[in-house]
Amino acid sequence: MHGETADDYRGRTALVVGAARSGIAAAGFLLDRGARVVLTDVRDEGALPVSLAPLRDVARRSGELVLELGGHRAESFRTCDFVVVSPGVPLSMPLFAESRRDGVPILAEVELAFRHLKGAILGITGSNGKTTTTTLAAAFLTGAGLRGYAAGNIGRPLISLVPASTPDDWYAVEFSSFQLEGIERLRPFVGALLNLTPDHMDRYPDFDAYADAKRRIFRNQTASDFALLNQDDPRTAALAGDVAARPVLFSRTSEVTRGAFVRDGFLWHRDDGGEIRLFAVDDIRLKGSHNLENVLAAAEIALLAGAAPASLAPVIRGFTGVEHRLEWVAEVGGVQYYNDSKATNVDAAIKSLEAFPGNILLIAGGRDKGGDFAPLRALAARRVKQLILIGEAAGKIRDALGDVSPAVDAPGLPEAVLLASRRASPGDIVLLAPACASFDMFRDYEHRGRVFKDAVRALARM
């Protein structure tokens, strides 16, 4: 445990902002410890992505639950003892000023979890690759016989793991920039920053503010911790001299003095004790050079946590990836269909396109996050034979790319898949890589990915 006790919340009022998975988990944790929990969300109960029934069950046994749905109440932000913020809620929301003005602490759900969690955190952040790296790091840990768990922004709230946590646990935790904004004491044993490219420019005033949020993963580390940095990303590598933790690097293009790298078709690890060959690049079943970077990072994280080097190869040979991340869906009529719904920004879409040599029918669009689509032009000109655009950003993408790849609009994702199937030829790739958020048409990127896969499977049944 990192500072709090199980009965610290009796007689205290906690305002939990956001009633999705993390908010529900935080509310349940606090209720179970006797708190009065005010759960607030702008959505009505019928529009929430998860049921409140389990929370009501906890409240019948312990604590007190107050629901403020369909809108926030300013008074609740002033009169609570502390605020817990769900990952999707921006701390720039004006109502948080009410709490700050009255000196009410504002905590991310992961910060609350850290204060009670036994075991060590292996924190992973960056603009792209977080979920794959987090999932694979946890797989490497368990493959080495360690007590490894994946949690955080991948859909498993860290707070939900607190009750069963032990000092021997290792938690590979994906952190979004929004979560990192709300940390105070959280200190990962390994803090990994995979890359820094523009993202969420609809939520930050500029790129520097976004990058500052990501760098908060290192703020509480000491010389007994590790900062894992991508040597191939100049913005990330530049932090090696600015962190208090011991810097460790990974690179797919050059050797590093300490960390993981590629040489002669193999992944290697080097530290003060020398170097050791881990496994062949050809053992990796994930497509794309960006996934090679993710594998390097995950391997190094596991090794820093004590995984035996020889334990990694069997795991990577069986790892086929994460749902909605360059996920192969089906072959229909000689056409391959791939779901990269998690490509929610321009840089992620670039990496997705780089995974294929050409003949791509690209389904893109959704809610614009303030990104610039022009960096896609060169790849689109060489590799995309047809753009199929959906959602609010369709016009902006057409303006940026329509002169280098023929573009057509579709009213929805199922219609886009059907249109792609009619325009594709055997040997082509139909790729969902939206370069946008999903919230104009879907609950989240996972919902969007499932709709895409259902539409592809419907094609196969025709």
pLDDT in tens, 37-73: 999 999 999 988 888 999 999 999 999 999 999 999 9
Question: Which one has a higher pLDDT value, 289 or 453?
Answer: 453
pLDDT value at position 115? 96
Mind listing the pLDDT tens digit for each residue in 339-361?
A: 999 999 998 999 899 989 999 99
Sign of CA dihedral 396, 451, 354, 269: positive
SS3 132: helix
pLDDT band of 209, cuts 50, 70, 90: confident
Strands 407-409 and 360-365: unpaired
Q: What is the mean pLDDT of the chain?
A: 93
Position 202 pLDDT exceeds 80: no
pLDDT band at 425 (very low <50, low <70, confident <90, very high): very high
- What SS3 state is found at 327? strand
Q: Which residue segments constitute the domains of the chain, with CATH numbers given?
A: 13-104 (3.40.50.720), 113-318 (3.40.1190.10), 327-461 (3.90.190.20)
Per-residue pLDDT tens for 111-169? 999 999 999 999 999 988 899 999 999 999 999 999 999 999 887 999 999 999 999 99
Report how far apart, in Å, the C-alpha atoms of 397 and of each of 212, 227, 255, 404 are: 28, 37, 38, 11
pLDDT at 416 over 90: yes
Q: Higher pLDDT residue, 4 or 89? A: 89
Residues 226/218, Cβ–Cβ less than 8 Å? no
Report the pLDDT value the prediction gives residue 94, as an integer from 0 to 100.
93
* Confidence category of residue 199, pLDDT binned at 50, 70, 90: low
Task: Read off the pLDDT of residues 215-232 as tens digits, 9 standing for 90 and up.
Answer: 999 999 999 999 999 999
> In this predicted structure, what is the pLDDT of residue 45?
93
Q: What is the pLDDT of residue 7?
A: 65
Q: What is the 3-state secondary structure (H, E, C) of 383-410?
A: HEEEEEEECCCHHHHHHHHCCCCCEEEC
For 23-32, 280-289, 388-397, which range has the lowest pLDDT when averaged over its residues?
280-289
**Structure token digits, residue 71:** 């809108």
For residues 306 and 295, the answer to whether their CB atoms sit within 8 Å is no
What pLDDT does 167 receive?
97
Q: Percent of the chain scored above 70 by pLDDT?
A: 98
Per-residue pLDDT of 155-174, as tens digits, reads 799 999 999 999 999 999 99
- Predicted confidence band at 391 (pLDDT cuts at 50, 70, 90)? very high
Tell which wins on pLDDT, 371 or 235. Answer: 235
What secondary structure letter does DSSP report for 243?
-
Judged on CB neighbours under 10 Å (0-12, 13-18, 19+), 166 is exposed
Q: How confident is the model at residue 369 (pLDDT cuts 50, 70, 90)?
A: confident
Of 160-169, 205-214, 286-295, least confident by mean pLDDT is 205-214
